[in-house]
Amino acid sequence: MNKIKLLESKQQNYQKFWRVLPIALFLCVTSVQPSWAEEKVMLRTLTVTGRGTQTIPTSLSKVSLGVQVQGKAANIVQQEAARKSNAVVALLKSRNVDKLETTGIRLNPIYSYKDNVRKIKGYEATNIVSFQVSTDKAGKLLDETIKAGATRINSIRFVATEEEITQARQEALREATQDARKQANAVFSSLGFTAKEIVNIKVDNASMPKPVMYRRSVPTAAIAEAAPTPVIGGEQEVGASVTLQISY
């Protein structure tokens, strides 16, 4: 009997313990919360954006040129365009140009209009290729492609090398960071505040430099015979921006 009473007493104590435990925990949490609230302090920050730009010389020419042929029969026109294009491509390969590729092949009818009636009078075939070459070699190479059969130069874009662009981006980012710091220091100094630490940094991608364009129409190879084609590159701008959030 004594053992049975002892077991019943222990069970009652356990039940009382589990009933009291949630209340004790609630009181504990409630007493701690004011402490947490007291430790929470609003962070004061200043946000500034700095910008940097670098100017770099162009040393490469991206050229787009091609062959244009007109005639009465579509198959003959296309064959003639292919023959001249093959000669131009063979020349470019022999000069070891970079990024040589075909960018357009077209065969279109040529129409004549009489008494509101449209009639096909012939066909025009156009084959376009693009490539990249050092700018100091571009002028002479253009003249050679005209002699080989090219009849049109669509465009020339002057660009810097990838290494030069990458280096310019890094320098532009450094300049943008310094610009942001100078702005922040000027604001803090004028207001009598002291900068503590940078709490956030946002780096915008450096903008791609826009190629410098050069255009010239080439109707016949006679121009190439008259004088060498002058090709002079320009400069490109690489820009970047950096945003700093600074506590004070």
What's the per-residue H, E or C state across 148-191?
A: HCCCEEEEEEEECCHHHHHHHHHHHHHHHHHHHHHHHHHHHHHH
Cβ neighbours around 195 below 10 Å, total: 16
Arithmetic mean of pLDDT, 115-129: 94
Spatial contact of 168 and 56, defined as CB atoms under 8 Å apart: yes
Distance CA 51, CA 42 (A): 29
Whether 69 and 191 share a structural domain: no
Alpha-carbon 58 to chain mean position: 18
136 shares its domain with 182: no
**Residue 205 predicted with pLDDT over 90:** no
Distance CA(74)–CA(123), nearest Å, equals 6
Q: Are residues 85 and 133 in the same domain?
A: yes
135 against 16, higher pLDDT: 135
pLDDT of residue 232: 78
Please name which of 114, 111, 139 lies closest in space to residue 124, comparing C-alpha atoms: 111
Tell me, what DSSP letter sits at residue 5?
H
pTM above 0.75, yes or no: no
For the chain, the average pLDDT equals 83
Confidence of residue 18 (pLDDT cuts 50, 70, 90): low
The better pLDDT of the pair 213, 143 is held by: 143
Residue 89 — φ and ψ, nearest 5°? -65, -40
Q: Does residue 107 sit in the same domain as residue 152?
A: yes
Residue 6 lies in a domain: no
- Give me the domain span that covers residue 87: 59-159+211-232
Considering the domain boundaries, does residue 28 fall inside one?
Answer: no
> DSSP code of 17?
H
Q: Do 201 and 143 share a domain, yes or no? A: no
Query: What is the count of structural domains for the chain?
Result: 2
Beta bridge partners of 244: 48, 201
Residue 2 lies in a domain: no
Among 59, 55, 61, 58, residue whose Cα is nearest residue 214 = 61
Q: Within a domain: residue 13? A: no
* 99-109 pLDDT per residue, tens: 999 999 999 99
- pLDDT at residue 120, rounded to an integer: 94
Better-predicted residue by pLDDT, 210 or 205: 205
Interatomic CA distance for residues 178 and 138, integer angstroms? 39
Write down the pLDDT at residue 132.
Answer: 97
Same structural domain, 81 and 136: yes
Residues 179 and 199 placed together within one structural domain of the fold = yes
Helix intervals (H) in the chain: 2-39, 74-94, 135-148, 162-191, 222-226
If one compares 144 and 227, the residue with the highest pLDDT of the two is 144
How many Å apart are CA 80 and CA 160, to the nearest integer?
36
Determine contact, residues 166/202, Cβ cutoff 8 Å.
no
Q: What phi and psi, each to the nearest 5 degrees, are found at residue 156? A: -130, 125
Per residue in 69-108, pLDDT tens? Answer: 999 999 999 999 999 999 999 999 999 999 999 999 999 9
Using one digit for the tens of pLDDT, what is the confidence trace for 29-70? Answer: 444 444 444 455 678 999 999 999 999 999 999 999 999 999
